[in-house]
Structure 1
Amino acid sequence: MKVVALVSGGKDSCYAMLRCIDYGHQIVALANLMPLDDSIDELDSYMYQTVGHQIVVSYSECMGVPLFRRRIRGSMRHKHLRYMMTPGDEVEDMFILLTEVKRQIPSITAVSSGAIASDYQRLRVESICSRLGLVSLAYLWKQDQTLLLQEMITRGIVAIVIKVAAMGLNPAKHLGKELSVLQSYLVHLKELYGINVCGEGGEYETLTLDCPLFTDSRIVLDEFQIVLHSSDCIAPVGVLHPSAFHLEPKNESTMVSDNGKRSCIYEVQGDHMKNEHVIKPQFVDFGSDSEGDMDGTVLISRRKGDSFVIGCWVQDSSSNSRGLQRDLAAILKKIESQLSGDDLSWVNVLYIHLYLANMNEFALANDTYVTFITEDKCHLGVPSRSTIELPMRQAKLGNAYVEVLGTKDQTKKVLHVQSISCWAPSCIGPYSQATLHKEVLHMAGQLGLDPPTMMLVSGGPLIELEQALKNCEAVANSFNCSLPSSTILLVIYCSASITALERIDLQDKLELFMKKRLDLELQNGGRYGVCDPIMLYILAPNLPKGALVEVKPMLHVPEERETISRIESHVQSAIEVSNCWGFENLNWPTSCYNSYFIHDKMCATVVSVDAESAAKICQGTAHENDSCFENEENLRFISRFCVHILNKSLLKNGFSWEDVLNLRIYFKMKLGLVLDTLRKVFTEAFEEFAKNCQSGNVVGDMKFLNLIPVLGSGTNAAMNDIITCELFASTF
């Protein structure tokens, strides 16, 4: 990509340019924001470094690329973390500046910045990029600062300290010193006082005088003054004010060819925004959802808390399909109407499962998706999302199926990084990496993408799995939790193109990865204790971007750093489990049932039914093959068994059906298995169970039942289940 680099004169923005070059991008312009008054060194700004702005003018000549500069007329008016367009705010100066750069150099598609740890700065750059249709590149984001500082020095960044404002740093002693000289001392201060080694906490700022991108000249500082802003005895504040400097050619040929050459510098004026520069989504008329088969079937569940689940699809669309975009538009419109009817909106949505009948139409699905779910509608952050292909047309579920998890309260915390970085895959669009709500972290489905290139790693499913897990780790660490010890449920979506042997290797790889990470965590003290997450494998026809593996974790992030453990036996002995069908004495395989719970907080259960289990459940009326599921009477036995085991899991762990937030029933799509029949027998099983227990409220509102057709599922990579039930309950 052709890139305009935001430069402040500091080391970070210069090193960010080097990283852009490393990943094959081309720096074609520089952009800088400076004070209105040249005599002022520093503005009171959380957004821009302006100390040393007198020197930045020479960067154009040093690099041989044009420099666009604008004087900052705005101030900090929008003080919330997530930025919204605010007239008069200093961020709008960046918008005007980059708008002019894009006007003069239309081929520019990306913006580079040196953000390392500041969400405040990153989110504002991303906001401007989104409005201008540009990609944000932040290759230093979330990187270890000690390693970054070492890399900068090793790669030839020659920078001096021009501001100090931290304990252990003295204006008279340290201003003007090169980073290479101060490196060991800065690391020492980190150990003593916990300062940010790269100065991300405002401890110090730098001015780059030379770097590998300065191909023509280096900067030589001739004169400067030390200006003391605060004489505080603990952390005095001072800046270096450059008075005179000159450029020193790096070789004789440069000196000859550049004799009399003028640098290409543009000062960008303008005091107001022009709306024509804002990139707006293109809204498509999908027609009325009342036409033909456009009515969506909506299932919604509510429980005693504020959380809810909505599931929607276009009924029987496979017989008269009007296409993915119309189906998905009808679904999203139906859900939007349902939310609005309850005085809710997309801002109340935490997570979205998007199931498609054809992954080749993924781009079309996104085009439709962004016309309904936007950042403007979700001021607290856009919901996280996972997307897979399912055999839905065979099940008469149409071209798309959307499942929405939401809440009435607005206490969620959303991580939405749109910048391309080395940290984790970016989410360029209205879906986020993860959403935290009531101690549960709902993470978006992670592919085996290499974050800085956003390309799938090569080498097959095992390599993709490892990269996807690393991406999950990066996101989890942002919430101060751990993948091995915080995970409640780990869903591994596998593409149908993976062979049976590769699936076995995949499971071994996953178990080895988690064990190594857990051993490492225990060696480091084990921050949260040890848990044993449920592993659930789903076989899907296709995944986004042609991926072979997609990983979707759900994690527990306790508000207080308590020790988490699974204590099943203590609860089980104290509760009499209701059994109305005589399954209690059945010798069923222990692998049928996996449960994870945190006392008084949450319970996750997966019930697996394969052909062998079905033969025992149906008490000899079924055979150990898939054909047993084509018999409605056998399905009744199996549905009752599932309800019985789910109830047993809830009761022995101290939960009730009123605590259930969601129940998904994955079923292996076979010609003889009809969706309506499956829904019928499960509904009857719940009704019969409630009646026998003499409590109509024991099961609650059974509209939370989601039937999802798959090619295979199970708690191991063989995925031989014909029916797998996934339940999640919470007392929050």
Structure 2
Amino acid sequence: MEVVALVSGGKDSCFAMMRCLDYGHKVVALANLIPLDDAVDELDSYMYQTVGHQIVVCYAKCMGLPLFRRRISGSTRNHGLKYSVTPGDEVEDMFALLSEVKRQIPSVAAVSSGAIASDYQRLRVESVCSRLGLVSLAYMWKQDQTLLLEEMIRRGIVAITVKVAALGLKPSAHLGKELVELKSHLLHMNESYGINVCGEGGEYETLTLDCPLFRNARIVLDDFEVILHSADSIASVGILHPLAFHLEHKPGSSSSIGDGAIAQENSSSLYEVNGGIVHADAEDKQTSSPAPTSDAYPNIDVCISKTGKTVFSIGCWKKEPSGSCASEGLKADLVAVLSRIENQLKEEGLTWVNVLYVHLYISSMKEFGLANEVYVSFITEKKCHLGVPSRSTIELPLVQVGLGNAYVEVLVANDLVKRVLHVQSISCWAPSCIGPYSQATLYGEILYMAGQLGLDPPTMKLCPGGATAELELALVNSEAVANAFNSSIFSSAIHFLVYCSARLTSSEKEEVEHKLQNSYVGNLDCSRTGSYPTILYVLAPDLPKGACVEIKPTLYVPTNDDDDGDAMRELDTGGSHPASSKVPSEWSARYSGLHDSCCLIHTVAGRICSAVVSITNDIASKICSRTEHLSDEHLKALAKFCAFQLAKILIDNGFCWDNVTMLRFYYSVEHPVAADVMSRAFSEVFTELGEADSSCRTDGVPIFNMVPVSGSGCSASMNNIITCELLASKA
């Protein structure tokens, strides 16, 4: 991509440009924001470094690139972490600056910034990029600062300190010093006082005088003065004000460099961006018609599993005859489904901001781009002020069982207390989420993570090496996301949903299973607690980007007041809480003997229960007289078995149906049963169960979602007829 680099003069913005080149991008322009008054060194800004701005103008000749500059007329008016368009805010100056760059250089597709740890700055750059249709590149984001500092020095960045404001840094002793001279002192200060060695806490600021990008000349600082802002005896604050400097020609350079840098600057390489700011938001340009009423789509089915008090799921699909070609296509089906969900949310007094997670199932991954276009017309940053929901997307055999081309399941919370991590910048940290879906959503003590592929974060390409290599990198990416919540997939995972592509051979699927198992067996946290998450494998016809594997972890992230020393301890069977769940006595007599052979259960701190129940051909043959053709009677028998096992899990572990937040039944399309037939069988069973236990139904609505798959199971063989996936949580 062609990139415009935000430059402050500091080491970070220069090294960010070097990283862009490392990953094959081309920096074609520089953009810099400076104070209104040249005599002012530093602004009271949360966003911009301006100390040394007098010298940044030299970068155009040093690099042989055009430099766009704008004077900052705004101030900090929007103090929230998440930024929304605010007239008069200093962020709007960045928007105006980059707008002009894009106007003059239409080929620019991305913006480089030197963000390392500041969410405040990253989110504002991402906001501006989103409005302008640009990609944010932040290759230093979340990287180890000690390693970054060492790499900057090793790769030839010559930068001096122009501001100090931390314990252990003195203006008289440390201003004007090069990084290489200060490295050992900074590392010592980090050990002694915990300062950020790259200055991310505002401890110091730098000015780059030379680096490999300066192909034409280096900057020589001839004279400066130290201005003391605060003479505090513990952490005095001082800045360096440049008085005289010049450019020094580099051997081999084709440019003619004079001695008086600013005076002789070529006007064609310096662009002053002036004028007012047009507050145009990309989302405002999207025209959205009022959501159709439910009557507008008579063939749309909606399933609400509202057993929980605060969290429930909605599943929605377009009802079609099995294998029918009557559907109008993916776009029409997805518009109908999302419109129906939107109306259902309104009926509940809710909006998209209440949605925690979205499962997007489509009939063909070839239409993934089209599905995204429809999706973003419904779910936007503007509609979700607390953050957009996390999401996973896979292809499923929907048409085959009469579910149209799109099936959407959303997890919804009645209250607005979620915490969302949405990093849109491309970095080395974890795959970016460019668009309205986030890496993870934390609600209560459960972290719902987006589907993770084996993507190389800085390039956003699938790693080579096949399924096991992809799984390994997907786990690394998941761990990076978990770390952002001070958690780990190896000590906090409740459940793993592993999607495998139908392209995989039997041996490749087995290798995936062994790789995942070994990653836990060899992990110290899991070995110490003896606590392993439940794992469910689902076979899908295709995955995004043609991936072999996609994983979706669910984690337990305890609150600060959780005094449970071992958060992942297992409950004793039988539970310590009175159980209200009940099952008909005849079910117990018929199915009790099969319980242990088909269930995986994981409970956490007495508050969360994850379970997977498998119905293999062997188990089905013990329940039904035959399994090659599943009659209505056979389906009902299997449904009763599933309901019994789930009820028993809840009873044994001190939970009840009111605690269930998610219940999903995956059924293999290898057995030719239409979705409505399968759903009807389970509905009848839950109606019968409801007569014994009123908590398993609310207002007569079934409490489950049926999902057709190519295969599923607790092992990578994925040969189950039906697999049940349950998550229960106590507030």
* 2: CA distance, partners of 1:575 / 1:522: 29
Q: Structure 2: which amino acid aligns with 1:726?
A: E
Q: Return closer, same or farther for 1:176/1:93 CA change in 2, 3 Å cut-off.
A: same
Residue of structure 2 aligned with 1:313, choices 295, 310, 317: 317
Q: What SS does the aligned partner of 2:44 have?
A: coil
Q: Structure 2: which amino acid aligns with 1:169?
A: L
Task: Judge conservation of contact 1:11–1:206 (CA < 8 Å) in 2.
Answer: yes
Residues 535-559 of structure 1: CA distance to partner in whole angstroms, max 9, x if unpaired? 1100000001111110100101000
Task: Judge conservation of contact 1:339–1:346 (CA < 8 Å) in 2.
Answer: yes
Q: Structure 2: which amino acid aligns with 1:609?
A: I
CA RMSD of aligned residues (A): 2.2
Equivalent in the alignment of 1:696: 694
More displaced, 594-603 or 608-617? 594-603
**In the alignment, is residue 301 of structure 1 matched against residue 300 of structure 2?**
no
Give the drift of 1:274.
5.9
Give the drift of 1:698.
4.6
Task: Judge conservation of contact 1:133–1:279 (CA < 8 Å) in 2.
Answer: no
Equivalent in the alignment of 1:265: 270
Residues 134-167 of structure 1: CA distance to partner in whole angstroms, max 9, x if unpaired? 1110000010101100110111011011111111
Give the drift of 1:464.
0.9
* 2: CA distance, partners of 1:52 / 1:40: 10
More displaced, 396-405 or 587-596? 587-596
Task: Judge conservation of contact 1:230–1:237 (CA < 8 Å) in 2.
Answer: yes
Equivalent in the alignment of 1:237: 237
* 2: CA distance, partners of 1:2 / 1:645: 57
* 1: CA distance, partners of 2:282 / 2:688: 58
Equivalent in the alignment of 2:13: 13
Q: Return closer, same or farther for 1:304/1:109 CA change in 2, 3 Å cut-off.
A: closer
Residue of structure 2 aligned with 1:359, choices 343, 356, 365: 365
Equivalent in the alignment of 1:650: 650
Q: Return closer, same or farther for 1:58/1:294 CA change in 2, 3 Å cut-off.
A: farther
Residues 339-376 of structure 1: CA distance to partner in whole angstroms, max 9, x if unpaired? 11222111111100000011111000001111111111
Structure 2 stretches lacking a partner, 5+ long? none
Q: Structure 2: which amino acid aligns with 1:268?
A: V
**Counterpart mapping for 1:195-234 below 5 A:** 195-234=195-234
Residues 154-210 of structure 1: CA distance to partner in whole angstroms, max 9, x if unpaired? 110110111111111111111111111111111111111111111100011101000
Task: Judge conservation of contact 1:356–1:390 (CA < 8 Å) in 2.
Answer: yes
Equivalent in the alignment of 2:492: 486
Q: Structure 1: which amino acid aligns with 2:329?
A: G
Give the drift of 1:291.
9.3
* 1: CA distance, partners of 2:139 / 2:277: 31
Residues 105-151 of structure 1: CA distance to partner in whole angstroms, max 9, x if unpaired? 11111100000000100010011111111111000001010110011
Q: What SS does the aligned partner of 1:481 have?
A: coil
Give the drift of 1:522.
7.4
**Counterpart mapping for 1:367-386 below 5 A:** 367-386=373-392
* 2: CA distance, partners of 1:484 / 1:598: 14
Equivalent in the alignment of 1:89: 89
Q: Return closer, same or farther for 1:256/1:10 CA change in 2, 3 Å cut-off.
A: closer
* 1: CA distance, partners of 2:62 / 2:499: 50
**In the alignment, is residue 100 of structure 1 matched against residue 100 of structure 2?**
yes
Q: What SS does the aligned partner of 1:666 have?
A: strand
**In the alignment, is residue 337 of structure 1 matched against residue 343 of structure 2?**
yes
Equivalent in the alignment of 1:400: 406
Task: Judge conservation of contact 1:450–1:467 (CA < 8 Å) in 2.
Answer: yes
* 1: CA distance, partners of 2:371 / 2:170: 57
* 2: CA distance, partners of 1:181 / 1:464: 42
* 2: CA distance, partners of 1:630 / 1:609: 13
Q: What SS does the aligned partner of 2:309 have?
A: coil
Q: Return closer, same or farther for 1:186/1:285 CA change in 2, 3 Å cut-off.
A: same
Q: What SS does the aligned partner of 1:109 have?
A: strand
**Counterpart mapping for 1:124-203 below 5 A:** 124-203=124-203
**Counterpart mapping for 1:573-722 below 5 A:** 578=583, 579-583=585-589, 586-588=592-594, 590-618=596-624, 621-622=625-626, 626-627=627-628, 630-670=630-670, 672-691=672-691, 693=692, 695-700=693-698, 702-722=701-721
* 2: CA distance, partners of 1:422 / 1:387: 23
Q: Structure 1: which amino acid aligns with 2:191?
A: E
Give the drift of 1:301.
2.5
TM-score normalised over the length of structure 1: 0.94
* 2: CA distance, partners of 1:376 / 1:394: 36
Q: What SS does the aligned partner of 1:377 have?
A: coil
Q: Structure 2: which amino acid aligns with 1:565?
A: M
* 1: CA distance, partners of 2:316 / 2:532: 33
Task: Judge conservation of contact 1:353–1:387 (CA < 8 Å) in 2.
Answer: yes
Give the drift of 1:583.
4.2
Q: What SS does the aligned partner of 2:694 have?
A: coil
Residues 393-434 of structure 1: CA distance to partner in whole angstroms, max 9, x if unpaired? 011000000001111111100001111111111111111110
**In the alignment, is residue 506 of structure 1 matched against residue 533 of structure 2?**
no
* 2: CA distance, partners of 1:541 / 1:584: 36
* 2: CA distance, partners of 1:444 / 1:390: 18
TM-score normalised over the length of structure 2: 0.94
Q: Structure 1: which amino acid aligns with 2:342?
A: E
Give the drift of 1:39.
1.0
Q: What SS does the aligned partner of 2:51 have?
A: coil
Task: Judge conservation of contact 1:34–1:69 (CA < 8 Å) in 2.
Answer: yes
Give percent identity, aligned residues only: 56
* 2: CA distance, partners of 1:83 / 1:704: 38
* 1: CA distance, partners of 2:355 / 2:386: 10
Equivalent in the alignment of 1:436: 442
**In the alignment, is residue 62 of structure 1 matched against residue 62 of structure 2?**
yes
* 1: CA distance, partners of 2:252 / 2:697: 85
Give the drift of 1:217.
0.5
Equivalent in the alignment of 1:569: 572
Q: Structure 1: which amino acid aligns with 2:83?
A: Y
Task: Judge conservation of contact 1:667–1:708 (CA < 8 Å) in 2.
Answer: yes
* 1: CA distance, partners of 2:247 / 2:429: 36
Task: Judge conservation of contact 1:294–1:330 (CA < 8 Å) in 2.
Answer: no
Q: Structure 2: which amino acid aligns with 1:408?
A: N
Q: Structure 1: which amino acid aligns with 2:316?
A: C
* 2: CA distance, partners of 1:245 / 1:258: 12
Q: Structure 2: which amino acid aligns with 1:647?
A: A
Q: Return closer, same or farther for 1:165/1:553 CA change in 2, 3 Å cut-off.
A: same
